[in-house]
Amino acid sequence: MKIAINGFGRIGRAILRQILTTPRGEGIEVLRINDIAPLEMCAYLFQYDSTFGPFPHPVEQEGAHLSVLGRRIAMSHEPDLAQVDLAEVDVVLDCTGIARTSDVAQRGLQAGARKVLISGPSPAAEVTVVYGANEDHLGEARIVSNASCTTNGLAPLVKLVDEIAGIDSAHMTTIHCYTNSQPMVDAPRGDFARSRAGALSMVPTTTSATHLIDEVLPHLQGRISGAAVRVPTASVSAVDLVAQLKQPMDEARFAEALKVGTTASEVLGWTEMPLVSSDLRARPESLILAAPELRMSGDRQVRIFGWYDNEWGFSARMLDVARLMAAT
């Protein structure tokens, strides 16, 4: 599979790290990286990462190429991706965060790539795909959204719970680390609470997973609500789901069914250990369920808690979906 990465930010760099250092990168050739930042800055930020630590191999610049682990990857710095030659590219991974309109989302196709995968929600996408929940809906779509990191954690879990006992209704709270959408010091944003310093306060806010879950799992439309609390940590977030079940279950029986389901899943994990968020950094699963946090109230209300590395796990799913796209 031949790919290009458009936007070499948090997700773009995590994707390249996984391609270069994990089995998920086998058979993937990165033909080009496009980012408006200078090559020197791109190389520096890839080499030294405050979240994942320094890259364990030399990262060098050779002309207009990034050179690492024997690979020479062409770098370009074109604000308009349509001006870059992508004729040999199977899938462009658009990690800019701005591919929300059709004119922007289609630029990878205009440059010659076969398909475009967007690293976030996008109304311009033909379909929104969450690996482990609805990848069978991919079809031959040329512009695809990989949804959000929270939706990638929530949707496979909701699908599994619905298969086990049915869901009448549910509410999800994501306890989410701060991101670049928040200021480091108080500064104006569209939302008053999100205008406050991200590393100093817990900030109640919204999550795109609330409407994306209806799109990904339409048979549950209207049954699942959601909210977010941004917290002062730099990586790893959590899903806290409370669901009203259709079928009565006791806690032991439900826990066993949930454990069996996660074991069979490609994207869900399970831990019996009393872990904290930093223990889950750089885990590739979409969501790792915490067995000690499982609770039932009566025989129909269940509380499920799970961890997800909102950068690393999401980047892993980008590569999984890209493989599916390249194969069709």
SS3 102: helix
Cα separation of 17 and 46, whole Å?
8
- Within 10 A of 123 (CB to CB), how many other CB atoms are there? 10
Cα separation of 120 and 100, whole Å?
9
Question: Which of 239, 227, 315 minimizes the C-alpha distance to 277?
Answer: 239
pLDDT at 206: 95
pLDDT at 39: 98
Choosing from 42, 95, 149, 177, the catalytic residue is 149
pLDDT at 325: 98
Which tens digits make up the pLDDT trace of 51-107? 999 999 999 999 999 999 999 999 999 999 999 999 999 999 999 999 999 999 999
Cα separation of 290 and 275, whole Å?
8
Tokens of 164: 């086990």
Query: Which DSSP state fits 242?
Result: E
Cα dihedral 61→63→66→70 (10° resolution): -90
Low-confidence residues of the chain, pLDDT below 70? none
* Residue entry with tokens 């311009």: 124
pLDDT at 174: 98
pLDDT at 214: 97
Cα dihedral 72→113→267→234 (10° resolution): 60
- Known catalytic residue at 149: yes
- Within 10 A of 256 (CB to CB), how many other CB atoms are there? 11
The answer to whether 248 and 242 have CB atoms below 8 angstroms apart is no
pLDDT at 19: 98
For the chain, how many residues are written? Answer: 328
Domains, the chain, ordered by start: 2-119 (3.40.50.720), 149-310 (3.30.360.10)
Residue 122 φ then ψ, to 5°: -155, 120
120 φ/ψ sector (left φ>0, alpha ψ -120 to 50, else beta) = left
Cα separation of 237 and 229, whole Å?
10
SS3 87: coil
pLDDT at 230: 98
- Within 10 A of 172 (CB to CB), how many other CB atoms are there? 24
Question: Half-sphere exposure of residue 249, counting CA atoms within 13 Å on the CB side?
Answer: 25
What does each C-alpha distance from 91 to 16, 18, 63, 194 come to in angstroms? 14, 17, 25, 34
Residue 264 φ then ψ, to 5°: -85, -10
pLDDT at 299: 97
pLDDT at 62: 96
Cα separation of 187 and 84, whole Å?
35
Whether the full predicted model's pTM is greater than 0.85, yes or no, is: yes
H or E stretch including 245?
A: strand 237-245
Cα separation of 109 and 112, whole Å?
5
pLDDT at 61: 96
Cα separation of 217 and 28, whole Å?
30
